[in-house]
Amino acid sequence: MIRSSKSFGAFFHGANGVKIDGGTFNEVHGNFTHFEDHRTIVNNQAELGWNALSNAIASGAIHNADERSSAPKCHPDTRTEILDMVKTWIKDPNSQSGIMWMHGPIGVGKTAIAQSIAEWAYAECILGGSFFFLRGSPEQDEARYLFPTIAYQLALQVPRMREYINNIMSIDPTLPSKDLETQMELLIIEPFKRLTRLFQSPLLVVIDAIDECMNPAMQEAIIRHIGQLVGTFHIPLSFLISTRSEAHIHEVFDLPEFSHITRRIVLDKQFEPDNDIRTVLTHGFSRILTRMEITGEIELWPSPDVIDTLVTKSSGQFIYATTVLDFIGAEWHMPDQQLAIVLDPSPAHSNLFKKLDALYTQTLERCPYRIDLVRALSLMLCLHCPQPPEVYDDLLGFARGHTTRLLRGMHSLVKFPDALEDANERIRLNQNQEYDVTCGLRLHHTSFADFLVDQNRSKGFFVDLSAMHSELAKAGFQLLRECVAEPWRETARSVFPRHETWGYLKNHLTIHISACDETAKAAAVIELDDFKPDFSLARPFQDVSWNLAFDALHALVTVLIKAIAHQDGSYPPTPSFPHSEHSHWIHDVTFESIVPFDRDSVSDKASLKLVLRYCKVLDEFYDFALSKSQDLMNFLTRLPGFAISNEPFIVDCLEDIFGVSQSSVLAHMDMNKRFLHRWDSLEWDHVSNIAMSVEVVTINPHMYSFLSDPSRSQSHYQQPTNSHINACRNLVKVIRSPEWVKLEKKDGALSCLERMLKLHLDTINVDPSTGYTDDHPLILLIVDFAGVICDMSILDAAPLANVKLVWSAARRILDWIQRQKSKISSTHKDPIFWKLEALFTRSNNEIYLRMLALEFCEDGKAQTITLCGPFLACVDPRRSTSMPTPLGKDVGNLGGGSDTVRVSPHSTRISEALLALHALRYSLLAFLTQEACAGPFYIPADMYHTQFAEICLDHCDPLMSDITGNWRVLPAHTEWGFHLSRAQPSARLFTQLQQLGTGRWLAGGTPHGANLKEIHLKSIMGIIHWLEVSIAPLDLHDRWNNMLRDIEGIVQGRPLVRRRPRMSFSEFGHCEPSIIMP
C-alpha cells in the first residue's frame, strides 16, 4: 500500500540530524522498487521476485559469463563468409525469417561462431540474450533454465520489462520450475505484450548446442516454442540457433510452420573450412614458433606439407586443429617431438585427443544397442564404397529400418543421404550426376574413424576391421545362398534384399574375401556345396521367389567368377570421393566377359570347380525358366536381334520401330525382370559410352551368354549369324515400308534403328565355307536390300528425319555390299560365288538407280548425275526447292532397250552432290562406269575421274583451317588424289593447280597429329607426276617442283623428283574412304 504524505516523522522515525529541503515522499508498506524509462534504476534492496528469478538462471550459460572466459570463438580472418551472412540477416529490416538455424557435425565450429556473433551483437547493443548449452554441466544441460535465463537478460535490456517480471515472480516464485510453455508465456510473451515501446529492429537471442540439452524431447520442445514466439506471437526477437545435424532436430525444422520463418546454414564443405583451418594452424604454429624462437631452438617449422597433412586429418573439424595445437604447444614439452606424436601416435599417447574422444564417446553412448551400433560402424569402415542403410540391414541381418534407428542419434558423426545436399556437393566436386544418388552412409570426419579403430581410445566401441571383413564375407555368401534357395524354402521371406545389396556383392564381395584368412574363406563358402536344385519340388515358376532366386544367382556367379579372375589381388581401389560411384547393381560378369581367361591357369582348383558348378546351376535355372515361360520367347521374337545383340533397346521407341506398344514392353519386363534389365537414362549413361536420355532395356548378360552357346542352351539356342541376318531383314522391312516411312517418328527411335542396323551389318559376313541355297537367310537378305528405298513419291511426302534414315541405311548397305564383294576373289570358281556376286551387283545397282537422278538442260541434250530430290534435301537443304527427277524403275532395260533414255555420255556431267557418296568410292565407280549397270547414268571412267577431280579441287581452299564447316570439304580433301591420278588433262584442272597453294587439302583428309609434311610431300610428288604424263605447261610444272623443294627442305634433303612410272592409286590416293555421313 502506497500513500502520499508530507509528514516526515513517520518516514525517519528514530533518525537524528536529518535535514530535507522540499520534495515529495511516498510511504510504502512492503517492498519498493522505482524504475525510470530509458535506464533502469533500482531504488530498493528487496526485489523478491527479481531475486527469485536471479537464483533460477544458469548464469554460466550466458556468453560473457566467467565460466566462458576460455570459450572458443572464431579466429580472425576465419569463418568470415558465415559471420557476414548472419550479421546481414540480423540487420535486415525486411527479413521474414525470425530464426536462423545453423547446423553441422561435431567439431566444425558452431559454438565458436555463436560466441563470436553474441559478442558482436552485445557490442552493437542488439543482443537480447544468449544461452550456451553444455552437456554434463549443472544447469547448462537442462531445458528449464533456458527461458528464465533469457528473460533475465531481456529484462536488463528492455525498459519496464524488469518491473513486470519482478511482479509476476513475486506472485509465483516457483515459476522457473514450471513447464516450458508456462515459462515462455509469463516470462517473455506477457511482458512484451505490456510494453508500449516500438522496436526499430528485433533483439538477437543466441542459443547454442540445443542438442546438448539432456532430453531429446525437450530439445524438440524448445525449438517448437521458439517457433511459436516468432511465427505465432510475433515477439520482436530474432533467434540464432546452432545444433548438430541430428535427425529429430531436422524433423522439427522440416515442419511446415518453420518453412517461412527459418533460414538455414549448413556448416559443410561449401564454406571451404580447410582454408580456415589452415589459417588457424598457421597462426597457432606461428605463436608456438615465436615462443620457441626466444631460445633459438626451432626454425622454419613446420613444413607446408605437414600443415597440409593436418588440414586433411581435420576433415573440416576445427576442434581437431585446436586440440592438435594445444597438444603441440603444451608447456614443458618440445613442439617438434609433440608434432611427431600427432603425425604418428602410439597407444601410449591415447590421451592426445582426450577432448575429442569425450565428444565421440558421449554421442555413441546415447544408443541403447551398443553391439549392433558397433557392427554397423564396423561395416561402414569396411565397405569399399558408401551404401544406403538398407544394405546394412541386408548384410548384417537386421530387420528393415534397424540401421536407420541405430544411427538416428548419430547424424553429427554419420552423414545420411540427402538429395539436395548431394546435388550441391556433386556440383562443388565437379562430379556427374550418377544414377546412384543415394551416396550411402558416410562418416563426417576421418578423426572419428581413427578413434574407432584405436582400442585405447574407443574402448567399448572399438572396431575390429579384420573380424568385420570375415563376418561380411560369410554373411554375403550366406545371404546369396539363402536367396538362391528361396523357391524351396517352406516359409517365404517377407522382405527381399535391395538391388543395391546385389550390386555391392557383385562388385566388391571379392575384396572382403581377399582380406580374410584361409580359415575364414573356407567358412564363408562351406554352405555353397550343399545346394542341389530339384525343380520338381520348387514353388510354381510364377511365384515371386524366382525373381529373388535369379537375382541372387546372378550375383553369386558374378562374385565367384570375379574371385577367380582377381586371384592376383588386382582389385579396384577405394574411391577418393565419398560417393558410391560404382555400385553398379546391374553389372553381371560372365566367363566370356573376362578376357583373357585361361581356366588352366587357375591355381585354386576347388574355387574353379565351385564356379563351374554354379554356372551349370544357372544354366539349369534358365532351361527351367524358358521351358515354363513361353511369353518370354514370344516377346524376344517380337524384338528381332534383342536376344543376340546384348544392346540397349529404347523402351518408348519400340512401338515406332517394331509396333510393340510401350505398355506391352513394360508388362513383359515386369513379368521377366529376372532376364531383362531396365535402365533409366542416368544409369545407362553411367555404364555405357552410348549417350541415352531415355529409358532402355537390355538382356541379362548371363542369359545372353547362355542363349549364344549351343552346348548350354540346346533347344533354346539362338544361332547368332542367322539371328543377325533375320534381325537385319526385319529392320529393312521396316525401313522400306511406305506406311512406316510416311509417319513421323521419335528422334530416339530413328537413331536406335540406325544403330541396330549398323550393329547387325557389322556382324554379318560372307563365309566361303557355307553353301548358300536359294532359301538361305543371307541370300534372302541380299535380295531384300534391293528394295530398301521405297518409291520417290512416298519419300517426297515423308518427314525429313525419316528420309535421312533411309538415306543413311541405303549408304550403309551399299558400303556393306562393297566390302563383301571385295572378299569374293575373282579366282573363286565355285558357282556359289558367282551367284553371290550377281546378287550383290543386282542389289547394288537397284539401290543406285533409286538413289540417283538426272538433271537435264532445257534442250535435253546435256544431263547431270545427282541425287534424287529427297536425298538431295538431306545433303544440301538449299537445293530442296529445285529437285531433279529420279529415273528409278523408268530406266527400263539396263542393257539398252527401246525404252531406255539415251543421252550421249560425252554430254553427261556429275554433280558435287555425289561427294556425299565418297565413302562408296569403288562401288559408285563400278556402277557409273559400266553402261550395262548404269544405263542412262553411264559416264566413261576417264570423264568420271576428270570431273570428280575438278569438283574436289574446287573445294580445296589452302587457307581453310576448319574443314568441318562445309560438308563438301572433307570428302573433297579425301578424294581429289584418287581421282586426279586417273583424270585426263583439262584446262580446268590446269587452272585449278595454277591457283592452288599448299594447305590442309594436301593431307588428303588425314587428321591432325599425323606426319602431315610427309603426306604433303607425297601428294605434291603425285601432282608433279600427273603434270608430267599430262604434258602440262612448263610454268605449272615448275611451280609444283618449287613447292616440292620447299617441302623437301623442311622434311629432309631429298633429290628433286624426276620422271617416274605412274603412281598407283594406293600410293597417290593414299586415304582410304571412311563412312562420314553429312
pLDDT for the residue 1076: 30
Cα distance between residue 479 and residue 553, in whole Å: 11
pLDDT of 692 > 70? The answer is: no
For the segment 303-327, the average pLDDT, to the nearest whole number, is 88
pLDDT of 779 > 60? The answer is: yes
**Most confident segment among 574-578, 599-603, 753-757, 942-946:** 942-946
Q: What is the pLDDT of residues 98-156, one digit of tens each?
A: 999 999 998 899 999 999 999 999 999 999 999 999 988 888 999 999 999 999 999 99
Q: What is the pLDDT of residues 969-979, one digit of tens each?
A: 989 999 999 99
DSSP lists the bridge partners of residue 263 as 100
C-beta atoms surrounding 975 within 10 Å = 25
pLDDT for the residue 1070: 40
Q: pLDDT confidence of 21, banded at 50, 70, 90?
A: low
pLDDT for the residue 1063: 38
Q: pLDDT confidence of 1078, banded at 50, 70, 90?
A: very low
Task: Tell me whether the omega of the peptide bond preceding residue 256 falls within 30 degrees of 0, making it cis.
Answer: no
Output the CA torsion 865→870→872→873 (10° steps).
Answer: 160
pLDDT for the residue 434: 43
For the segment 680-704, the average pLDDT, to the nearest whole number, is 64
Estimate to the nearest angstrom the gap between the alpha carbon of 428 and the chain centroid: 13
pLDDT for the residue 344: 83
Cα distance between residue 343 and residue 155, in whole Å: 51
**How confident is the prediction for the chain on average, in pLDDT?**
82
Output the CA torsion 418→423→427→431 (10° steps).
Answer: 90
Q: Is residue 259 exposed (0-12), middle (13-18) or buried (19+ Cβ within 10 Å)?
A: exposed
For the segment 391-411, the average pLDDT, to the nearest whole number, is 92
For the segment 351-357, the average pLDDT, to the nearest whole number, is 83
Find the radius of gyration of the CA atoms of the chain: 43
* 196, 207, 592 from 228: Cα distances, Å: 21, 16, 66
Give the end-to-end CA distance of the chain in Å, rounded to a whole number: 104
**Most confident segment among 573-587, 623-637, 1031-1045:** 1031-1045
Half-sphere exposure of 683 (CA within 13 A, CB side): 17
Which amino acid is located at 451 in the chain?
A: F
User: Residue 253 is placed in which grid cell?
Assistant: 525444422
For the domain made up of 53-271, give the CATH fold: Rossmann fold (3.40.50)
Q: 303-317, 361-375, 951-965: lowest mean pLDDT where?
A: 951-965
pLDDT for the residue 661: 80
* 168, 550, 625 from 547: Cα distances, Å: 70, 5, 11
pTM for this entry: 0.66
Q: What is the pLDDT of residues 899-917, one digit of tens each?
A: 444 445 567 899 999 999 9
For the segment 754-768, the average pLDDT, to the nearest whole number, is 88
Please report which helix (H) or strand (E) contains residue 650, including its range: strand 649-650
pLDDT of 682 > 60? The answer is: no
pLDDT more than 90, % of the chain: 41
* 8, 44, 270, 526, 782 from 14: Cα distances, Å: 11, 20, 74, 104, 133
pLDDT of 818 > 50? The answer is: yes
pLDDT for the residue 197: 63
The 8-class DSSP code of residue 39 comes to: B
Architecture of 366-463 per CATH? Orthogonal Bundle (1.10)
pLDDT for the residue 579: 39
Question: For the packed helices 335-343 and 304-314, what is the interaxial angle rounded to 10 degrees?
Answer: 50
pLDDT for the residue 1060: 39
Contact between 230 and 261 (Cβ < 8 Å)? yes
pLDDT for the residue 593: 63
pLDDT for the residue 570: 58
* 119, 158, 205, 778 from 122: Cα distances, Å: 5, 14, 10, 90
pLDDT of 9 > 60? The answer is: no
For the segment 698-717, the average pLDDT, to the nearest whole number, is 87
For the segment 202-220, the average pLDDT, to the nearest whole number, is 93
The domain limits of the chain are: 53-271, 273-344, 366-463, 468-628, 765-939, 947-1068
CA nearest neighbour of 113 among 195, 206, 201, 224: 206
For the segment 395-407, the average pLDDT, to the nearest whole number, is 93
Q: pLDDT confidence of 2, banded at 50, 70, 90?
A: very low
The residue that leads in pLDDT, 3 or 319, is 319
For the segment 223-232, the average pLDDT, to the nearest whole number, is 95
The residue that leads in pLDDT, 884 or 962, is 962
β-pairing verdict for 852-856 and 696-699: unpaired
Q: pLDDT confidence of 264, banded at 50, 70, 90?
A: very high
Q: pLDDT confidence of 577, banded at 50, 70, 90?
A: very low
pLDDT for the residue 752: 84
pLDDT more than 70, % of the chain: 81
Q: pLDDT confidence of 315, banded at 50, 70, 90?
A: confident
